[in-house]
A = this chain, B = another copy of it.
Amino acid sequence: MPLRLLSASLALALAAGAAGAVAAPKVFDANITKPEVLAAQEAWCNALVQISTVGAREGQAAARAIAGEVLDTAYGYNLGPVLFKPTLTEAPQTFRTTREGALAYFVGGDPAFPKDDGFALKGWTACTVENVAIHINGDVATTMGNVMITNRNGSVTTVDKTWTFKKTDDGRLRIVLHHSSLPYTSG
């Protein structure tokens, strides 16, 4: 019995030694994380201010070019229809599931979307996010809360905002859902 125990202990010690010698396992993690989501929100805010700034300095065409880049890198129009309900769109063009519709909303100037006057061109100088709750589920994460955007007069507009970000195979995040609405007031 003592011999057996000794033998087992030795085996354990050897196993532990072997374990100590092996390399850490390689990890392939496809999941989205909260820090990634917060960084993507901040990037959205920065992009909005950037489009606004460029638009004010260099005109609509330059703003349009930047907005197109933002859509091509930060939104998931390359993956499928994006569930996008912008703050200020109206029926029957409320929802902008295509890149064209999103671009028209941000910088206007598209006769196919006659009511769009370019949301990103309204002179935004700052943008901050206050998350109320975050739901992380696989490679997608959804945030809900407020976004406060400041115009050049210092006036702050608050919107109720929901975003879903999807982490794609290259490890980057894209917006696949964006529902924005003005706060309700009973008056």
Task: List residues of chain A with CB under 8 Å of any chain B CB.
Answer: 4, 6-12, 14-16, 18-19, 22, 25-32, 34, 79-85, 87-91, 94-95, 97, 115, 125-126, 128, 130-140, 142-146, 148, 150, 152-156, 158, 160, 162, 164, 166, 168-169, 176-177, 179, 181-186
Q: Assuming A88-B184, A150-B15, is B137 touching A138 (CB within 8 A)?
A: yes
A184 interface neighbour in B29, B89, B164, Cβ under 8 Å: B89
Question: What residues of chain B lie closer than 8 Å to A139, measured between beta carbons?
Answer: 137-139
Q: Assuming A155-B11, A162-B179, is B30 touching A138 (CB within 8 A)?
A: yes
In the complex, residue of chain B having the shortest beta-carbon distance to the beta carbon of A91: B183
Contact yes or no, A181 B169, CB < 8 A? no
| Alpha-carbon gap, A128 to B11, bound state (A) | 11
| Alpha-carbon gap, A116 to B154, bound state (A) | 32
Question: What residues of chain B lie closer than 8 Å to A134, measured between beta carbons?
Answer: 25-29
Contact yes or no, B135 A28, CB < 8 A? yes
Give the one of A79, A83, A115 with max B CB within 10 A: A83
Question: What residues of chain B lie closer than 8 Å to A11, measured between beta carbons?
Answer: 126, 150, 154-156
Question: What residues of chain B lie closer than 8 Å to A91, measured between beta carbons?
Answer: 158, 183
Given A25-B131, A164-B164, 9 extra CB contacts under 8 A: A8-B150, A11-B154, A25-B134, A26-B80, A29-B134, A30-B79, A31-B136, A137-B137, A179-B181
CB distance from A68 to the nearest CB of B (A): 20
Question: What residues of chain B lie closer than 8 Å to A166, measured between beta carbons?
Answer: 30, 137
